[in-house]
């Protein structure tokens, strides 16, 4: 199903690695639905 594009991951929010504390705070609220992603550039 994933290969066919019929299902996929649900993303809640995306943060730069420098904003990891904000991402952690978002996770601690327990109000998110889906994944919280940290972006690493380089």
Q: Note down the domain range covering 39.
A: 1-42
The values of phi and psi at residue 9, to 5°, are: -70, 150
What dihedral angle (degrees, nearest 10) is formed by the CA atoms of 16, 17, 21, 27? 70
Instruction: Give the pLDDT confidence score for residue 2 in this predicted structure.
Output: 85
CA 23/CA 3 separation, integer angstroms: 29
Look at the pTM and tell me if it is higher than 0.75: no
Taking only the tens place, the pLDDT of each residue in 1-39 is: 889 989 999 999 999 999 999 999 999 999 999 999 999
Residue among 42, 33, 39 nearest 14 (CA): 39
How many structural domains does the chain have?
Answer: 1
């Amino acid at each position: 199903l994933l290969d066919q594009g019929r299902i996929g991951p649900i993303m809640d929010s995306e943060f730069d690695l420098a904003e990891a504390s904000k991402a952690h705070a978002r996770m601690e609220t327990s109000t998110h639905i889906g994944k919280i992603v940290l972006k690493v550039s380089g």
